[in-house]
Structure 1
Amino acid sequence: MKLRFLLLAALFILSLLTTPHLSRAETLALRESPRRLTFNADSLDVDGETIVAEGNVTIAWDGKVLTADHARYERVGGNVVAKGDVVLIDTDGNRVECESVSLNMETLEGEITEGNLYLSDSGYRISAKSLRRTGELTYEATDASFTACDGSSPSWRFDADWLKVRIEEFLTGGNAVFRIEEVPVLYTPWLIYPAKTQRTSGFLPPKAGWTTRGGTELKIPFYWAFADNADITMTTDYKSRLGLGETFDLRYILAEGHEGNFKVKVLHDKEEDDNEAEVKGEHLSRFGRDDLLDLKVDYVSDASDYREDSETLELRGIVRKESRVYGAHTMEPGTLFLLGRWTQALLEPQGDTLQQLPRLGFYGVETPVVYGVNSFTEVEATRFKRDEGVDGDRFRVNQGLTKGFGDNSGGVRLGAGYRYNYYDLNSETSEKSGPWLEADGRVALGREWGEALHIVEPNINWRWEEQNRDDEVEYFDEEDIFKDSSTIFLGLTNRILNTENLRELFLLEFGREVGVRHLTRQGFASVDWENYRAVMEISPFADVKLRLDGEYADDDGGRFNRWTGLLTAKDRRGDELRFERNYIRGEADYLDGGLIIPFNESVSASYRNRFSLKDDIRLEDEAGLKFSHPCWEVTLTYSRVYMADEDRIDYRYYATVTLAGLNRLGKFRW
C-alpha cells in the first residue's frame, strides 16, 4: 500500500512538470534567435506557441520596451497584439502612445489605432486615428495632425488627410491646414517638413520690419546642415529702399581643437548702385598644449553705411575694426609668438591708421639663477606700417632680474633690469635705452564681523628709470616711453565678503600715482601728482549691484576726467532695471537706461533709452513687447535712432515670430 501511494504521487508530480499549460507566472524570459524577450505581467499564460499577458504588461527586447494592459504574443512569426494604454519606446527614445497595436517585433511593422508619435530629441508630435509603422524609422498616418507643442491642446498644428514620416529625413503630407489656437490660417495641398532628431536643414523663422532708411524689410534665413561638423545659415535680406542682400554664416570644426565661424554679408545698394560687403569671423587651432593659431577677420567695405545700418547702438558706436593673425609656440624657456594686426578706422582717415605687420617676439619665463633670484628676457621686433606719416621697424629688448619675499598674506617683490629700443624709421636709425629698478609691496589684513569678512589690502609700487640715450623718435605705443624719473603708485583695496557664500558685498579700489624727477643739488626737479583713480561696487543683494568707476584730477580746482556709474537690479518676479551714466570730459556725457517688466509668464515689456546730456538729444530709444508660449514666441519692437551724420531720426519697426522646433540647430559635434 505504501509503495502504491508513492508511485501515484510521483506520477502526479511528473504530469505537472510535463503539461504544456503554465498559469499565473509573473516573469518569463525567452531566447528567440536572434532576440531575447522578457515578459512581465500580473498574469502570464503560456499555451504552446502563444503567450498571453494580462495586467501591467511589459515586454522588453533589443533595447525596446512595450507596455500595455493586455498583450498576446505569437512565437511563430513574432507578432504581438497589445491593447489598453499601449506605450512603445524604441532605442532612440521615440515614443508611441495608442489604444491598440498589432506589431511584428522583428521588423517593427504594424497597425496603430488612435495613436500619438513623439520624436524625443526634436519634440515633434504626430496624432492620428490610424497610424501604421512601416519600418523601424518610417510611419504612415491618416486623419493626422503634427505639432511641436506639448499638451493635449497645442497652440499650433498642421492637420492633414495623410502623413508620411521617415525619421532623420522628412515628414510629408497632403491637404494640410495650419491652425493657431484652432483657427485655420493657411492651407497647402502639399506639406514637407524636416523630421530629424539631430540637426536638420530647412527654413528658419523670418523677421519682418520697416525703417525710415531701409523701407520694408524682410529677412528669410535658410539653415543647411551639410555635415556633422559644419553648417551654414544663408539669409536673404530684402530692403525695399536699399536693395537685396545675402548673409552667409558658417560654423565648422575641422578636427578636435580646430574650429571657427565666419560671416560674409553682401548688399547691393540700389540708391548708390554699388555693392557693400562685411566679412567677420574667427578661427582657433590648438596643436597640442604648446602651439596655437588664432585668426580674426573684421572688415567692412563702406564704413559710413555700416554705422548707419547697424541694428544696435553698440554696433553703431564702433569706431574701428581689427583683424589679426596670432601664432604662438610655448617652450620651457618661454613663448615665441608672431602677431600681425590690421586696423580699419571707421571715422578717421585710413591712411593715418597705424598697422603692426608683423610683430615677432619671445617672452621668457622667470628662470631661477641663484639664491631665489629669477631672470627673464623679452625680445620683440615690430614693423609699423601706414600710408601717411612715419613708419618703419623697432627692435626692443628688456632683460631683468626679480626676487620675491613673503606669502599670500603679504610680501615684497624686487626687480631690476635694462631696456633697449632700436629704430629704423623712414631710413633713419635711432635708439632709446636705460636701466630700471622696481619694488612692489602689499599686505592683506582681514577680520570677521559676524557673517561678514572685511579685508583691507594696501599696496605700493615704486619704479625708477634713467635715460642713457633718448633720441627723438615717433611714438607708437607705451614701449616707446622712457621716463627719467621715479614713479610711485599708492593703492588701497577694501572689500567685504559674505562668509557663507563668499559673495562680494562691497569693493573699493583706490589709487594715485606720483612722478618724481631725479634728485639734483637744488633738490627734486619736480613732483608730479597724477590723477586719482577709483572703483567702487556695492551689492547688498545677489541681484542688485551699483558700480562707480572714475578718474579725478585736482588741477584747476578739481574735476573729473571721466566717470561711469552703473546700477543693475532684478527681483524674484523677473523685473529688471539697468541705469548707466558715462562721462568723458570734453567728449561725451550720456544716460543709458532700460527695464524689463513681465506682466505674467506669457507677456513682458521692455524699454531702453540713451540720451546725450552733452548735445541735449536722444540718441536712441526702443520699446518692445514679447508674447511667449512653450510653442511659440512673438516679439514686437519699435525704436527711434538718431543718425548723427545726417542729423535725422530713423524710425524702425520689427516683428519676429518663432515656432517651437523651427529654429533648433541640434547637436553640433566633431
Structure 2
Amino acid sequence: MNKLWGLLLFPGLCHTTTANAEATPALCKASLSTPVWQPLNGLAANTMDIQADHVEVLGVQSAEFTGDVQINSPSMTLLAQSALIDQVQGLLDARGPIVFQDQQSIISSSGLNANLTNNDLNLLGAQYQLTQQQGRGKAEKLSIGSSELNLFNASYTTCPAENETWSISASRIRLSQEEGWGETYDAVLKIYDTPILYLPYFTYPINDQRKSGFLAPSIGSSDRFGLETKTPYYWNIAPNYDATITPRYMSNIGLQLQTEFRYLTEQHHGLVALEYLNKDDSEPLLDERYLFHWQQSSQLNEQWRASIDVTNISDDNYLTDLGSDYANKTDTQLYRTGLLSYMGERWQTDIKVQNFEVLGDHLSSYSAYPQISFSQTNPFVWQGLNLTLNGELSHFKNTELALNEATRLHIEPKAQYLFQDYAWSFLSELSLLQTNYQQKGDFTDTSFEESVSRTLPKLRLYSQINFERETDWLVENGLQTLTPQLQYLYVPNKAQDNIGLYDTTKLQDDFFGLFRDQRYSSVDRIASANQFTLGATTRVFSQQNEELFNLSVGQIFYLSDEAKPSEQKLTASAATLSTQSTYNALFAAEAMLHWHRRWYLSTGVQYDNEGKQIIQSHITLDYKGDDKQLVQVNHRFSNDVSGNRIEQMGLFTSMPINQNWHFIASFHRDLETGRSVELLTGLQYQSCCWAFQVTGHRQIETDLNQSITGIDQDGAVFDSGIRFNFVFKGLGGKSSYDAQKLLQQGIFNYRRPYFLNN
C-alpha cells in the first residue's frame, strides 16, 4: 500500500541539546549502536513532514493519521501507529508503540501528547537511551521541554542493559542541557538491584559545564597514615573563579584541610593553595603543619609581564611526611620568586625577587632583594659585528652566614661575529666581564674583602661543519648527517677567593656542557680556560624526517696546567668550606637509538680520562606498544652525589590485560646498598558505567632533619600502603581514566628522557 504524506506548517518541537564534550570511551561505543539522528533533507523550519498508510481530515484544521505513521520535523522523528493533530489548539496526540528520536536520545513509549505551541512533549511508559553519551533508563512519564528533560518515577544508569552494575531510581529526574546538570529527587542508589543508599536530592554533570558539588572520594591505608580518606568538594564560584575544598582524614595523623582557589581574568591567571593540619598525632613535638602555594602569570600589556611562584611549608619534613600536589617528596629546596619583565624592541629587563628555602640539614641560601638584569635582544650592528651589552644589579642577604649581605654589579659588553652557511658556520665572541662587589659580614680568618672589583676578558671561537649522505642503515633511503664541532675558549686565571658565593653552582658536565662558555651558573666564579673542545654529532633520519639514531661524543683538551679546573670551594661560610669534584680530562657522550617504532634506547656517559673513572652514566630502554602498552628499564650511576656514590636500577610497566583491566608497576633498587628503594603496583578496572583503581606501594622514607653524611644506610625506614579510587560514571568526574598516571604517584616518576633537552 502506498504511503500518504503531507507537509504541515507547525511550530517545530525544540528539544535541542548539546552533546557531552567528553569523548565516549572506545570500550563503550558498542553500546551506542543507534546512529545519531539527522533531520530530513530539505525540511524547512517550522514545518513537519508526515507519512502514514491512511489519513482522515477532520474539518479544516485537524487530521488523523493511522498505520505506520512517521512524523519528521527539523528537531525530531516520531514513529507511531496513529497520530491526531489539531492545528487550531496546537496539539499532537500519538498512540503506540511509539519511537521518538532526536539528536541526543531515542525513546520508546506507549503514548505521546505534545503542545506544539509551547514545545512541550510528554511520553508515557517510556524507555530512553542517550545516543551521544552514556545514559539510559525507564520512566512512567517523560516530559521534554525546550531545554530540559524531566522523568517521573524513573531510573537512570550508564551501564549497558546486559550488565547493569548500578542504577538510580527516583521519583523525579531532571536533565537540563542548558545548565549542564542533572537533578534527582528521592533517589535510591542500587548495586545489582540491591538498594545501597537513599539520597533525598543530589546533582551530577551531563556535559562539561561546571557546578558545585562533591567529587569522587578516595580511600587508602598505609603504615604512616593509617586509614586515609579524601572527600573533595568543588565550588563553582563564578565562570572565572572556582575552588576545591578537600578534607583529608588520616587515622594515625589527624584531619587535614586542603584547599585550592583558581582564578582567571583578562590579565591574570593563577591559583592559591593552602594545606593545614592543626595537630599531627604522629609528631607530638610539632605544632601546626601547613603548606602555602601561590602561582600566577600576568600579562599587564604588550610589553610588561609578571609572574609569582611561592611555596612555603611549616617544617622541612612536611613534604616527605604528608606529600602534596604542589611539590615533590624528593625536592630539597622550595622556590619563592616574583618576576616583573619588560620586553622592548631592543632590550629586555627583568626585575626579580627570589628566595630559596633549603630543606634539611643544609646551609640556607641567599635571598635576592632585588635582582635587576637587562639583556640586549636586538644587537647593534657595526662593521659586520653584533654588539651587545648585558648586565645585572643584585642585592643578596642571609643573616645566618659569615657574609650576610652583598651587592653585585655585573656588566658584560660583547662583540660577536657570526657567519652561517648551509654547509658550515663560524662564531667568534670577545667579551669583557666586569664585576664589582660590596660585601658585608664577618671577615675574620677569611680571605673575603669588603670591596672587590674583578675584570676578565673572554674569547670564544666556535665552528661546525655539516655533512650529509644517503644511507640504508636502520632504514631504506635514509639520510645521515655528521656535524663535527670545534671550540676554543680562553679566560685568564684570576684568584677569586675574596668573593662569596651567592647564586653560583657548578653546571652539569654532559656533552652539551662541553661547549658552554662557562662552568658555573652565575658570575661569582668565572673559571679560567685555555682549552679546545672537540666533538661531533651524527644523526640518521627516515624519509619522513623521523630521527632514528643520534650519537654525540666530545672531549675537552687543556693547553696549560693552570687552566685545568681545580677543587672549587662552593660554600660561602668560612666555617664550613667544602669541595666539589672536578675532572681534568672530561669525555662525554650521548646517544639515542629508535630502531623500531616501538623501541627506544637512550644512554649517556661522562668519563674522566685522566682519573680513569666513570663520573656519571645513564641508560634507558623503552618499549611503547599499542593500547598504552609501556615498559621501561633504566640504570643510573653517579660517583659523587653530596659525598655518596649512587647506582640504581628502575623498571616501569603499564600493560592492558584486556579491554577493561589495566596493570601498572614500578620498581627501583639501590645497587650500592643492595635494597629496594620503591615498589609501586596498581590495577585498574574500567567499564562503561564504573571504574576502580587500587594501588599499593612500599617506599623508603626520608628524614630531611638528618644530615646526608649522618644517614644510616642500613637502618632505612619504609612506608607501605594501599589506595582505592572508585567512581560511578555519569554521576560526577570524568568517565575516562589513564592508568599510566598512576605511575606519577611514586617517588620516581615515569618519563621519556630521550625527548628532554639539556
TM-score (structure 1 length as normaliser): 0.85
Q: Deviations over 1:241-291 (max 9, x none)?
A: 100001112222122x52122321112313426221112342111234432
Higher relative contact order (CA 8 A, sep 6+): 2
Q: Which amino acid aligns with 2:728?
A: L
The alpha-carbon distance between structure 1 residues 121 and 300, as it changes in their structure 2 partners (threshold 3 A), is: farther
Residue from 129, 133, 138 that aligns with 1:127? 138
Whole-Å Cα distance in 1 between the matches of residues 151 and 10 of structure 2?
A: 31
Residue ranges of structure 1 left out of the alignment (5+ in a row): 1-22, 518-523
Which amino acid in 2 is paired with 1:173?
Y
**How far 1:354 sits from its partner (Å)?**
2.3
Paired residue for 1:211, among 222, 228, 232? 222
Instruction: Find the partner of 2:86 among 47, 56, 74.
Output: 74
CA deviations 1:562-590 (Å, max 9, x no partner) are: 11111111233643211111211143211
Select the residue among 515, 520, 525 that pairs with 1:481: 525
Q: 1:39 touches 1:57 (CA, 8 Å); kept in 2?
A: no
Describe the shift of the 1:474–1:222 C-alpha distance in structure 2 as closer, same or farther (beyond 3 A): same
Q: 2:534 aligns with which of 466, 480, 490?
A: 490
For 1:154 and 1:108, locate their aligned partners in 2 and report how far apart those are by CA, in whole Å: 33
Match among 576, 590, 603 for residue 548 of structure 1:
603
Aligned to 1:592: 650
**1:394 CA drift (Å):** 0.6
CA distance in 2, matches of 1:222, 1:134: 31
Matched, 1:102 2:116: no
Structure with higher Rg: it is 1
In structure 1, what is the Cα distance between the partners aligned to 2:175 and 2:377? 62
Residue 150 of structure 1 and its aligned partner are, at CA, apart by 5.4
Q: Which moved more, 1:484-493 or 1:609-618?
A: 484-493
TM-aligned CA distance change 1:278 to 1:73, over 3 Å: same
Structure 1 residue 237 corresponds to structure 2 residue 248: yes
Looking at structure 2, the residues matched to 246 and 618 of structure 1 have their Cα atoms a distance apart, in angstroms, of 33
Q: Distance in 2 between matches of 1:68 and 1:179?
A: 33
SS for the counterpart of 1:261 is: strand
Show CA shifts across 1:460-493 (max 9, x none).
2222224689672113323233344423222211
- AA in 1 matched with 2:264: I
Q: Equivalent of 1:400, from 408, 411, 414?
A: 414
Alpha-carbon contact 2:139-2:155 (below 8 Å) kept:
yes
Letter in 1 for 2:210: R
| Stretch of structure 1 that moved more, 205-214 or 50-59 | 50-59
Q: Say which SS state the counterpart of residue 347 (structure 1) adopts.
A: coil
The counterpart of 1:516, out of the listed 538, 559, 562, is 559
Q: Which moved more, 1:319-328 or 1:408-417?
A: 408-417
Q: Deviations over 1:277-318 (max 9, x none)?
A: 112342111234432112112222122142133389x93222
CA distance in 2, matches of 1:162, 1:481: 74
Match of 1:360 in 2: 372
Of 636, 649, 654, the match for 2:723: 654
Partner of 2:632 in structure 1?
A: 578
For 1:279, the aligned partner's letter is F
Q: CA deviation at 1:602?
A: 1.1
Match of 1:9?
A: none
CA distances 1:484-524 after superposition (whole Å, capped 9, x unpaired) = 4423222211111111x22221111222223334xxxxxx8
Report 1:396-545 matches (<5 A).
Answer: 396-426=410-440, 428-449=450-471, 450-466=476-492, 472-476=498-502, 477=504, 478-499=522-543, 501-517=544-560, 529-545=584-600
8 A Cα contact 2:395 2:408, kept in partner: yes
Paired residue for 1:381?
Answer: 393
One of 355, 372, 390 as aligned partner of 1:342:
355
Write the mapping of 1:246-261 to structure 2, written as runs, cut at 5 A.
246-255=257-266, 258-261=268-271
Contact kept? 1:605, 1:626, Cα under 8 Å: yes
Q: Is the CA contact 1:432–1:482 (under 8 Å) kept in the aligned structure 2?
A: no
Counterpart of 1:39, as a letter, is M
| 8 A contact 2:78–2:99 mirrored in 1 | yes
Paired with 2:323 and 2:492, the residues of 1 have a C-alpha distance of: 49
Structure 1 residues 538-570: Cα deviation after superposition (integer angstroms, max 9, x where no partner):
1112232111122111233x1111111111112
2:730 and 2:587 map into 1 onto residues whose CA distance is 54
1:506 partner letter: F
**CA drift at 1:134:** 6.3
Cα distance change, pair 610–662 in 1 and its aligned pair in 2 (3 A):
farther
Contact 1:579 1:592 in 2 (8 A): yes
Tell me the CA shift for residue 238 of structure 1: 0.4
Preserved CA contact (<8 Å) 1:410 1:442: yes
Match of residue 38 from structure 2: none
Per the alignment, residue 146 of structure 1 pairs with: 156
Equivalent of 2:49 in 37, 40, 56: 40
Aligned equivalents of 1:33 and 1:485: distance in 2? Answer: 82
Match of 2:514 in 1: none
CA contact (8 A) 1:41 1:55 kept: no
Indicate the larger mover: 365-374 or 404-413. 365-374
Counterpart position of 2:756: none
Distance 1:32 1:504 in 2: 58
Question: What CA distance in whole angstroms lies between the structure 2 residues aligned with 1:201 and 1:116?
Answer: 30
Alpha-carbon distance in 2 for matches of 1:509, 1:71? 79
3-state secondary structure, aligned to 1:316 = coil
SS at match of 1:555: coil
Counterpart of 1:173 (choices 162, 182, 185) is 185
What is the aligned partner in structure 2 of residue 188 from structure 1?
198
1:607 to partner: Cα distance? 2.0
| Superposition RMSD in Å | 3.1
The answer to whether the Cα contact below 8 Å between 2:12 and 2:73 also exists between their aligned partners in 1 is no
Map Cα deviations across residues 633-665 of structure 1 (whole Å, 9 max, x no partner): 111122112224473222201111122134437
Please say if residues 199 and 665 of structure 1, whose CA atoms lie closer than 8 Å, have aligned partners that are also in contact: no
Residue 525 to residue 571, structure 1, CA distance change in 2 (3 Å): closer
Amino acid at match of 1:432: R
The 1:395/1:29 distance shift into structure 2, 3 A limit, reads: same
Contact 2:528 2:563 in 1 (8 A): no
Q: CA deviation at 1:413?
A: 1.5
Relative to total residues, which structure has the larger strand share, 1 or 2? 1
CA contact (8 A) 1:581 1:591 kept: yes
Call closer, same or farther: CA 1:71–1:565 in 2, change over 3 Å: farther
Q: What is aligned with 1:57?
A: 70
- 3-state SS, counterpart of residue 205 of structure 1: coil
> Does the Cα contact within 8 Å between 1:466 and 1:482 map onto a contact in 2?
no
2:231 counterpart SS class: strand
Tell me the TM-score normalised to structure 2 length: 0.76
**Structure-2 change in CA distance of 1:640 and 1:485 (3 Å):** closer
In structure 2, list runs of 5 or more residues that go unmatched.
15-43, 442-449, 505-521, 566-583, 704-714, 736-758
Give the number of equivalent residue pairs. Answer: 625
Pick one of 332, 337, 345 that aligns with 1:332. Answer: 345
**Does the CA contact (< 8 Å) of 1:433 and 1:482 recur in 2?**
no
- Separation in 1, partners of 2:324, 2:292: 17
Equivalent-residue separation in structure 2 for 1:32 and 1:632 (angstroms): 38
Contact 1:352 1:387 in 2 (8 A): no
Q: Identity rate of aligned residues, in percent?
A: 18
Task: Indicate if the aligned counterparts of 2:11 and 2:116 stay in contact, CA closer than 8 A.
Answer: no
CA distance in 1, matches of 2:108, 2:77: 11
CA distance in 2, matches of 1:526, 1:208: 60
Shift in alpha-carbon separation, 1:387–1:185, aligned structure 2, 3 A: farther
